[in-house]
Amino acid sequence: MTQDSTADWQARPRVSLRLVAQAAGVSIATASRVLNDGPDKASAETVLRVREAAERLGYRPGGAAQALRRRESRIVAVLAAALINPVMATIVASIGHALRAEGLVMALCDTHEDAAIQDDFLTEMQAQNARAFVLVGAVDSPGLTRLRAAGAPLIFVNRPDPGPAPGGAYVGIDNAAAGEALARHVLALGTQRAILLHGSLERTAGTERARGIRAAFAAVPDAELIAVEAPGLDQLTGGLQAMAQVLSLRDPPRAVLCLSDALAYGAWRGAREAGRQEGFDLYGFDNLLFNDWVAPWLSSVAVDPAAFGPAVLAQLPAPRAGSRCFLPHRLHLRPG
């Protein structure tokens, strides 16, 4: 009655290794060896015949069968904390691009900073024999702990491992150094007092940025740093509300150091709606693409997003726990 279920649109029969081998007049084993192990495993003439047959038939190795036999697929699991954040989206694009150049495929999930979603995806990807796990903004979760303990290949991007002990490689800027550099620049302008506008400090990147900024301010006698917390998960709204606090200060400092551009966007709206946008100098992190176009008032710590892909790729073969690849950052100052 019901015959073997098949995606009906697929070309039948599939161009399988067997077909190639038949066309070349060799056994499947030989064909596989030639195609995978290079030309040293067979006579030059055989190599040629097999290659030609594969080419002619348009052979593509079936991903599923390969993944089954080698216990490893060409899929790399990539988790992003919030694709709504353009900088993460760009990083993800860069990673995807680098992976594809190696013949790998990016499976992507937006975790919305939710541990349950993250774990769900990690488990699913493990069931798919994912080759590695790239976490662009990981949250701590039981599933992550499990993988860490199992020694799975983990790469943390842009936000170091949130766990107690780092379980994989890190790729991203040196957040503490970047924070310190930003703060030093601000101080060098003669600033004595500044706002540190931060979101939830549970995110490791933010913590480190704040640490660097604090260190720089602590190094200058009489310099004062007023920390203001932006409430909630949404950085834009949080920045807006935090700015309200700042505006209510008796003598608010001019310099406002935001731990991300999104916070700065929110803060700027707050200032603008109060008609006081001229009263502040805003600083951020990430240097969102649109800054030059619609937020020229913002200075920001910039990283080249295209640098992430190759850096992640470099860690892929064997991400050693605790290894860190720091990408260069620079301060992108607002014109004028």
Q: Which does 192 bind (CB under 5 to 8 A by kind): DNA, a copy of itself, none?
A: none
Query: How many residues interact with a copy of itself (rule CB under 8 A)?
Result: 67
Residue 185 CB neighbours (<10 A): 16
Should residue 83 be labelled a site residue for a copy of itself when binding is judged by CB under 8 A? yes
Angle between helix 204-218 and helix 175-188 axes, rounded to 10 deg? 40
Should residue 7 be labelled a site residue for DNA when binding is judged by CB under 7 A? no
Q: Which stretch binds DNA (CB under 7 A): 21-29, 171-179, 215-223, 269-277?
A: 21-29
Q: CA end-to-end span of the chain, whole Å?
A: 76
Of 141, 25, 9, 124, give the one whose Cα is nearest residue 77: 124
Cβ proximity to a copy of itself: between 10 and 248 the closer is 10
Cβ proximity to a copy of itself: between 104 and 181 the closer is 104
Q: Hey, what are 19's tokens? A: 């077909």
What is the Cα 169 distance to its own chain's centre?
A: 12
Q: Which does 251 bind (CB under 5 to 8 A by kind): a copy of itself, DNA, none?
A: none
Spatial neighbors of 183 by CB under 8 A, at least 6 apart, are 194, 212, 213, 214, 215, 216, 217, 257
Cβ proximity to DNA: between 9 and 293 the closer is 9
Whether the CB-CB separation of 135 and 79 falls below 8 Å is answered with yes
How far apart, in whole angstroms, are the C-alpha atoms of residue 14 and residue 53?
A: 15
Should residue 249 be labelled a site residue for DNA when binding is judged by CB under 7 A? no
Q: Which stretch binds DNA (CB under 7 A): 54-62, 159-167, 177-185, 309-317?
A: 54-62
Give the strands of the sheet with 298-303, arranged side by side: 224-229, 193-198, 255-258, 281-285, 298-303, 329-332
In the complex, minimum distance from the CB of residue 114 to a copy of itself, in angstroms, rounded to a whole number: 11
Of 125, 131, 148, give the one whose Cα is nearest residue 79: 125
Should residue 23 be labelled a site residue for DNA when binding is judged by CB under 7 A? no
Which residues of this chain interact with DNA, rule CB under 7 A? 2-5, 13-14, 16-18, 25-30, 32-33, 35-36, 40-43, 45-46, 59-62, 65-66, 68-71
Q: Please give the residue ranges that form the binding site for a copy of itself (CB under 8 A).
A: 5-11, 14, 60-65, 67-68, 70-75, 83-84, 86, 89-90, 92-93, 96-97, 100, 103, 105-110, 117, 120-121, 123-129, 131, 150-153, 236, 265-266, 268-269, 272, 289-290, 292-296
